[in-house]
Amino acid sequence: MEIFGYSIQTIYLFALVIGGVLTFLYILFGDLLEGLFEILPDGFISPTLVLSFITFTSATGYIFEKLTSIHSGIILIISVIVSLLLVTLLNVFVLIPLSSAEESLAYRDEDLKGRIGRVIVSIPEDGFGEVIIEGNGGNIGMSAKSFEEKAIPYDTKVLVIDVQDSVLYVLPQQDLDFT
């Protein structure tokens, strides 16, 4: 079968190459393209799923055209069905869990207030050091400054009092008086 003077195998192969190149470009420049899809309602269309569908359809079609003697129309229908199945599995088992995991690892500066950390770079009287805050989701290392403008030595446990411009303002834990 031929379309526009090209065999259907050639069209599947071109679609596969173009789908692969667009997928690679989307990986590199996906954040820029996300802005273009902001005008559409949430969940309406996902570039990842569209590119996956094109790639799966063209790959399946090319393989079936190359290896079988089934009619091209039936191969197209089989390719679309297989692609829908694979894209659905990709969405349910990979993309949705990844989007949930990404949100759970995010934190705001305000979430760090009241947390206990440890000084990993000494904090001078009127300078900056570094504090690491250990948690279940991983460790957070941030610049830190003494809340009372006093030097805080290495390996001191500190309490985060405030966060401004991504800088922790901390007090040594032994200086805290809760009475």
- Specify the CATH number for the domain of residue 148: 2.40.50.140
pTM listed for this prediction: 0.56
Out of 105, 133, 167, pick the residue that ends a domain: 105
Residue 36 has pLDDT above 70, yes or no: no
Q: What is the DSSP string of the chain?
A: -EETTEEHHHHHHHHHHHHHHHHHHHHHHHHHHHHHGGGSPTTS--HHHHHHHHHHHHHHHHHHHHH----HHHHHHHHHHHHHHHHHHHIIIIIHHHHHHHHHH---GGGGTT-EEEEEE-B-TTS-EEEEEEETTEEEEEEEEETTS--B-TT-EEEEEEEETTEEEEEEGGG----
Confidence bin at 136 (pLDDT 50/70/90): confident
- Domain membership of residue 120 as a residue range: 109-175
Out of 88, 105, 122, pick the residue that ends a domain: 105
Residue 179 has pLDDT above 70, yes or no: no
Residues 18 and 99 in one domain: yes
Residues 118 and 161 in one domain: yes
